[in-house]
Every structure is written in structure tokens, then in C-alpha cells.
Structure 1
Amino acid sequence: MSNNQKKWSRQVTENSDALDIKVDIFESDDPKEIALSLKRSAEQSDRRKSSPFQSAMSMLTFYINRAGKNLSVSRKRVLENAKDELREAFDR
């Protein structure tokens, strides 16, 4: 991955047009904390273009996809578990 691509994905994560997310939330070891933070951000956003659930899930999925092979197995597990927590938080 080129340096420009790394900067681009980091910039999207930090400066999303749809959500103002807590700094370093994706570094948390608690899937529930990640999910609830994303839920809060999505519900408070007046710039998102889809439902709060879709916006929150999209941001989480984007982060996982952009990190790709750079994610350790344990980090990926935490983030995948955060998806389940997000579904639960939105009663899905």
C-alpha cells in the first residue's frame, strides 16, 4: 500500500463526512465500547446519508477493510465482535 493510500484511509477515518468518531476508538479492546461509541456518533450526526445503524456499520467495516492484512488476528476478532455488539445495540 502506498503512503498516499495510508494517509487517505486514515484521513477518512479521522475526518468522516458522516460521523465524528472518538479518537482512537478502533484501538479499544472492548467490542461493546467500540459499538456504543459508533452508535452514539451515528445517532448524533446530522450529516449522515443513511440510517444510524448503516452509518455506524459502514464506518466499522471500512476500518476493518482498510486495515486488511495489517490487523492481527486478535484485533480483527475484537472488531468483528464489535459488529455483533453494534447489531445488538440497534436491536438487529
Structure 2
Amino acid sequence: MAKYSEKSQEKVHEAMHEMKEGKLKSGTGKKVTNPKQAVAIGLSEAREEGAKVPKKKK
């Protein structure tokens, strides 16, 4: 299984929390309602900050 850093886990946790509150938006500005999309956004944000996150699947 892939290893995720503490920073990336925290980002995913924050994204899930925002989604549940209805505050998380996708790139197009629409509200995110899918938990899988929230996880993807959290990992993407962690990747941008340089956290240890496995590569994207194609």
C-alpha cells in the first residue's frame, strides 16, 4: 500500500470536513458532494505543497 505523509493526511481530512460543511468547491466553482472527489482535491493540494503523496493514476 502507498505511504502518505502526515501533511497529506491532514489535507485530505480538511477537504472532507469542508465537503461535509458544503464549503468545498471544485475547479469550476461547483459544490463538491462526492467524497472521492474531496479526497482527490485534498491529495492534489498536498502534492502542490510538496508533501509525500503517491503519483496520480492514469
- TM bucket (normalised to shorter chain) is 0.3 to 0.5
Using structure 1 for the length normalisation, give the TM-score. Answer: 0.29
TM-score by length of 2: 0.41
Over alpha carbons, which structure has the higher Rg?
1
